Every structure is written in C-alpha cells, then in structure tokens.
Structure 1
Amino acid sequence: MQRRTLLLGLSTAALLAACGGGDSAGGKFRRYNGPRVTQIQVFKGERKMYLLSGPKVIKKYKIGLGGNPTGPKRFEGDGKTPEGYYLISHRNPNSAYHLSLGISYPNEQDVAFAESQGKRPGGDIFIHGQAGKNRGRGKDWTAGCIAVTDDEIEEIYSMITPGTGIWIFP
C-alpha cells in the first residue's frame, strides 16, 4: 500500500512539473497575482528602475544601461539609453537575453531629430535579462537597453503588459 501511494505521489508530481507553473524552457514564465503595474520609472543616474501601481512603488531593481549612458539616445549606435516617456510595446519570449519587453523608442520626435541631423534614430530598445553570457561585463554593457538579471526579468515579464507607460529620466 505504501509503495502504491509513493508511486501515485511521484506520478502526480511528474505530471505537475511537466505541465504546470512553467514552460518547457526551464520555467522562465512566472505567474503574477499582485497589483497591476501602471507605470515604470527608470532613473539612469541612480541605475534604478521602479514598478508602480498608482502612486505606490511595488518593486525596485538595480539596472545596467547602454555603454555610453549619459544623455538621451539620439542616433543608431550611440550606446545611449533613451530618455523621456515611452510605452512597453511588446513582450518577447524568445529574446537572446532570456526574456525582454520592447520599449516604443523611437517616437516621432526621436525620428524627426535624427533625420534633421542626417542620421537614423536606431531602435530595438528593451528591458531584458542577461542570458548568462553577459555576467561580469560591468554595469553598463548593453547597446542602449535596460538590463536586469535573468531572475529579475522573469519577475518583471510576469508583471508588465504591453501599453504600460515607462518614464526614463536622466
């Protein structure tokens, strides 16, 4: 009887592990049941990102930025992280950086400024993880994105939906 109970318990655990609470890529997709995140605020100079629900900060993260972080992103390849108000445009479950959330850079003003200078504004700006391979590269190693740890992007990815506003401050 004990053997049958043990086998039944192990079978149930195996079934739950195979199809519940995670994905086939190692469980990087989490569930979030807390308050809705209504806004993201990034303070580049402090290397901090805050997730807010209304006026209340519900999570805080240390971040890495582009390799040339001072000042707003203006042109493709400048290594800067944008400044201003944007939206989370989409979720990328197949990111080269574990998971990522797209930021709606460039906006119309960004494009107009770059074109007035005869340059391209760049794009593909994300909040993303490290995918292991970028650990130890220093605090500002991206091409202009906002980086957190893989564990943190799993949490953030579960909390944020496309259309969420993001303020990026100097």
Structure 2
Amino acid sequence: MGAGRQEDEAFAAWLTPHLGALRRVARAFAESADQHDLMQELTVALWKARPRFRGESADATFVHRVAHNAALTWRRGETRRRRRQEGVAAELALRPAPPDTPEAGLLERLYAAIRTLSPVDRSLILLSLDGLAYEAIAGLHGLTQTNVGARLTRIRARLTILVKEDGDGV
C-alpha cells in the first residue's frame, strides 16, 4: 500500500508543472461543459503513458505529445457523444453564462476560434502558445521548422479574423 501511495505522489509531482498546458489543451479541444471530462482523460492517458517515458525528450514534450494525441482521440469520440445528446433540453441549462469582463469574453472567443481549426492546426497553435520552439513543434508533428512557421503565421491570421468577426457580432 505504501508503494502505491508513493507512486501516486511521484506522478502528481511530475504532472503538476504541466497542468496549465493540460488545461489549455482541454479548453481548445472541448466546449466548457466537457473540459473537466477531457482533463480527466488527459490525466489518465498520462498516467498510462508515463511508464513508457524514457527521458529521451523533455518532460513537457512528452506531456504535450500524449495530451494532444489523447485530445485528438477524445475529439473523434465527441461526434458520437454529441449525436446522443442532441435533442436533450438539459444541455441548454449547462451552457455558461455570458462572461463578466471584456477580457474573459475575448479569451472565450479566442478558444472558440481555436476549436474551429483542424486538429493539427489546433495542436500547432497550442504548442506555440505554450512557448515551444518551432524545432520542438516540428519534431512532435513530423514537419519542418519552416512549415511550422508558415502554418502558424496563417493560423494566427485566421484566428485574428475569427475573433474580430465574433467580437463585431456581439
């Protein structure tokens, strides 16, 4: 029993510095009502994957790779879940109230715009927002650094337009 507790504590200590990145992944891949569920899925995926971590990359790189892969898998199942939930009136009650501050509204519009991106583009922008270098992002996705830079430039331009359009309609 003592060994299990030590393992739990070691995992928690290892995971804690990466919780912000996990929250950003959850927020980018899931609507507000589903973000907690996705966070749980990401944590379970990391729990299962951690024994395979060989230290050949930085902890953050490993966490990002596992989290993004788990989020992509979760997202594929999201379509099936949404179909089952359609027509349920209770879903309307779960929608968040309008944000209280302009900054919160802007941030929510940004994440809503990020959710419209393709999964790869979503992953690229999140990794960039998390401060990963183009070299690390390229390595995670099997792209060249030049391709990552070009794609991120297009993604940022698209997000700017989407956030502005959404803000103008408010």
Q: Could you say which structure has the higher helix fraction? A: 2
Structure ID, larger Rg: 1
TM-score scaled by length of structure 1 = 0.25
More strand by share: 1
Instruction: Name the structure, 1 or 2, with higher relative contact order (CA <8 Å, separation 6+).
Output: 1
